[in-house]
Structure 1
Amino acid sequence: MQKLIKDGAIIENTWTLLAKAEGDAAAVEVPAGQVLIPVAVWLAQKDQLQNRTDIGVWFDSDESAELIGNDANRFAVIGVNFPLFMDGRSFSTARLLRERYGFKGELRAVGNFIRDQLCYLRRCGVNAFAFANPEINLEEAVKSLTDLQEYYQASVDQPLPLFRRRA
């Protein structure tokens, strides 16, 4: 079983990521067990899936947090996908889920982000990291969560800017 980083610890990944459907999202069969489904599948099958507690959703980089809005807290896990490490739109999705919609559960980065981005992802509210590259040394990656110790700006993980913290 693949491992991931959650809250600074390396743990087993018990959730299955369901790939994005090529065809009609309403026709996708959602398997039993803990599964992260594309947000389009959730929207198409919400009536059938709403009583399941083992469902999470994931957003592709071109999808907006507004698609689920205030329903975000019904999920234990929400993923934000990075199809390329250069595509930073999922940073904004993560921050919106935490700040605008008050999401309290596990916010997981999935896909092709890189170790150098972990510290910044954490600042946007991401607390779990599932790398697409199985060759990543997770012990070394955990160290990247604390690459920087002090920030000027406010963020999800530090709501007060430096000048307020020093006042």
Structure 2
Amino acid sequence: MPDVIFQDGSIQRDDWTVVPRPAEGESLKIPEQGKALIPADLWLAGYEHFAGNYSVGVWFDSHDEPEILEGKVNELPVIAVNFPKFSDGRGYSIARLLRERFGYENELRAIGDVLLDQLQFMKRCGFSAYALRPDKDIKKAVRCLNFFSQGYQAATDTDVPLFRRRAS
């Protein structure tokens, strides 16, 4: 099966290549054809070169700080957040900061060790696309994203808690 993601309620072809961080002393190797996600700090370092190029997006590792892109986030067509292992929850915080504090409006993608049972929580934090771990059945994503009909607390998908929604 070609590389696919789950986005907008369906399985779609993934046109983006995640470019790994180069080793010490090596240069960044961006594919000549197609779209590329590069480390956020390297995009910022080459901002003059990358600004306005909508075939280049960025990815954050779980220990990166999204503040480095403050004021520039909506110049990016895609921001991906890497989950190096499913138990590392820092990516959820990065997503909330990008959506709520920095006002990011474009595609926010979860990559790495992304499991089906995390999708509902990722959605509530602001993710809009999911690159599941290859051994997971992407056809189950719709059910997992809509497993709960209501969330109790406010989040990026609804800014009003359930008790206030019920009162009105």
Q: Percent identity, please.
A: 41
1:88 aligns with 2:89: yes
Partner-residue secondary structure (3-state), 1:148: coil
Q: 2:52 maps to which residue? A: 51
Q: Structure 2 CA distance, aligned partners of 1:77 and 1:149?
A: 28
Q: Secondary structure at the match of 2:104?
A: coil
- 3-state SS, counterpart of residue 136 of structure 1: coil
Equivalent positions of 1:120-131 (< 5 A) are 120-131=121-132
Shift of 1:29: 3.1
Q: Which residue of 2 aligns with 1:142?
A: 142
TM-score normalized with structure 1 length: 0.93
**Following TM superposition, by how much is the alpha carbon of 1:165 offset from its aligned partner in structure 2, in angstroms?**
0.6
Deviation of the 1:155 alpha carbon: 0.4
Q: Which runs of 5+ in 1 are unaligned?
A: none
Q: Tell me how far apart the structure 2 counterparts of residues 135 and 14 of structure 1 sit (CA, whole Å).
A: 20
Q: Which position in structure 2 is the counterpart of 1:68?
A: 69
After TM superposition, the runs of 4+ consecutive aligned structure 1 residues lying more than 3 A away are: none
Of 8-17 and 45-54, deviating more is 45-54
Query: 2:4·2:12 contact (CA, 8 Å) conserved in 1?
Result: yes
Task: Assess if the C-alpha contact under 8 Å between 2:18 and 2:37 holds in 1.
Answer: yes
Shift in Å, 1:150: 1.5
Cα offsets for 1:74-116 (capped at 9, x unmatched): 0111001000000000000001111111111010000002111
Deviation, 1:24, is 5.1
Task: Tell me the amino acid that sits aligned with residue 109 of structure 1.
Answer: A
Q: Matched residue pairs, number?
A: 165
Write out per-residue CA displacement over residues 30-80 of structure 1, whole angstroms, 9 at most, x where no aligned residue. Answer: 233311111122122112211312110000000011010121100111001
Superposition CA RMSD, Å: 1.4
- Which digits, 9 at most, give the CA deviation of each residue in 1:5-45, with x for residues without a partner? 002211000111101222258x3132333111111221221
Matches of 2:114 and 2:52 in 1, distance apart? 32
- Cα distance in structure 2, aligned partners of 1:38 and 1:107: 14
Aligned match of 1:41: 42
